Copies of this chain bind each other. A is one copy, B any other.
Amino acid sequence: MREFIPLATRFVDLPAGFSLRRGGALHGARIAYEAFGKINAARDNVILILTGLSPDAHVASHADNPAPGWWEAMLGPGRPIDTNRWCAICVNSLGSCKGSTGPASVDPMKGEPYRLEFPELSMEDIADAAAFTVRALGVERLACVIGASMGGMSSLALLARHPGLTRSHINISGAVHAQPFSIAIRSLQREAIQSDPHWNLGRYDEERYPKRGMLLSRKLGVISYRSAQEWNSRFGRASLDLDRRAHKKPFGLEFAVEGYLECHARRFLECFDPNCYLYLSRCIDWFDLGESCGCTADDALSRLRPEKALVIGVHTDILFPLHQQRQIAEGLRAGGADVQFLALESAVGHDAFLVDTERFGPPVGEFLSAL
């Protein structure tokens, strides 16, 4: 089993017997995080960043790890999340394979990887582990929780389960729960991995690794993260260069868009564990803020009560469609929060926050400056 831990990652140990919402408990578990900027004396300048399904805690480059991070343009001195003022802490999700304990980690009770023996993971567990982490670092009140995509969901779970832990909230391309179209996409991604005979009920190794299943799964992911509109202008019907046409295999790749998907998926193969992917993907489908709070999603939102919130969505997002961000904004506003809702015109779809940072940077920077 491979874990993929960036340089400069730090760790917080979860308490022994850390209970999970759907049953079971973890022993010897830890949460990986990276910190950017310095905590001030009042400890009131801390921002928590919760990620999408696949990123690690390395948001941006810094002295201890100069490699570019997954949100490089958004965080650093003078950038929208300005580390001259803020101390940003990004937490790798519980259940991931980027340093936090997950299905690819060794179960200390058995001395071998958990694999499918890892307990059922929920979004609430991810939120609780993140809340524990910031408190363990001596932070009792956050200036802001920022979450995008799955991180938008875990942020809502955190606000619901840890009232008063944050003053403000930025929710980007998030949702109170997944819709059936998105569930269907993720269900197929999981089925692709499970259909690979090398998956072997989670008992793969380097020799027999579910590579074809992971490739298929990730390609389907990329299709759902982008938009038809972007690809029309980017690829059109262009052909793949002849030398990339997979040795004239029957039904091999021919179009530029197929080469792009192949390239993305091969890169992912090198950096994510299949069982962790299954756990995190299912946890997105399970999450339902209303069910979690024992009321309707709208009522649950109205009870979260951050002082201020910024909610951003993108017109071309097919995975977390724009009306879901509008619902978050309206629900928070109904609870009395000072909410700004932004519907961005980006062509990039769900991934826009990772790509169109020139659109996301200014509103995020302005929101944080005004705190």
**Residues on A facing B (Cβ under 8 Å):** 116, 177-185, 187-188, 190-192, 194-197, 201-202, 212-213, 215-216, 219-220, 223, 227-228, 231-232, 234-237, 250-251, 253-258, 261, 278, 282, 285, 288, 318, 321
Q: Contacts A187-B261, A253-B187; is A223 near B181 (CB within 8 Å)?
A: yes
Q: Cβ of A187: which chain B residues have Cβ within 8 Å of it?
A: 253, 255, 257-258, 261
Q: Contacts A187-B261, A228-B321; is A235 near B180 (CB within 8 Å)?
A: yes
Q: Cβ of A191: which chain B residues have Cβ within 8 Å of it?
A: 215-216, 219
- Nearest-neighbour CB distance to chain B for A310, whole angstroms, equals 25
Contact call A251/B183, Cβ cutoff below 8 A: no
- Nearest-neighbour CB distance to chain B for A49, whole angstroms, equals 28
Number of chain copies forming the complex = 2
Please list 9 pairs of residues, one from A and one from B, whose beta carbons are closer than 8 Å in the complex, sorted by A's number: A180-B231, A180-B236, A184-B223, A184-B257, A188-B219, A188-B220, A192-B192, A202-B250, A251-B278
- Ordered nearest first, which 6 A-B pairs have the shortest CB separation? A181-B228, A180-B257, A180-B231, A180-B235, A195-B212, A187-B258
Contact call B184/A231, Cβ cutoff below 8 A: yes
- Nearest-neighbour CB distance to chain B for A275, whole angstroms, equals 10
Closest to A238 in B: B180
Q: Which of A178, A184, A254, A288 has the most CB of B within 10 A?
A: A184
12 more contacts with CB within 8 A, not counting A187-B257, A195-B213, are: A180-B256, A180-B257, A181-B227, A182-B228, A183-B257, A184-B261, A185-B223, A188-B216, A220-B220, A228-B321, A251-B282, A254-B285
Contact call A237/B184, Cβ cutoff below 8 A: no
Contact call A232/B180, Cβ cutoff below 8 A: yes
Q: Cβ of A257: which chain B residues have Cβ within 8 Å of it?
A: 180-181, 183-184, 187
- Nearest-neighbour CB distance to chain B for A319, whole angstroms, equals 9
Q: Which of A191, A197, A201, A250 has the most CB of B within 10 A?
A: A191
Cα–Cα distance between A227 and B219 once the two chains are bound (Å) = 20
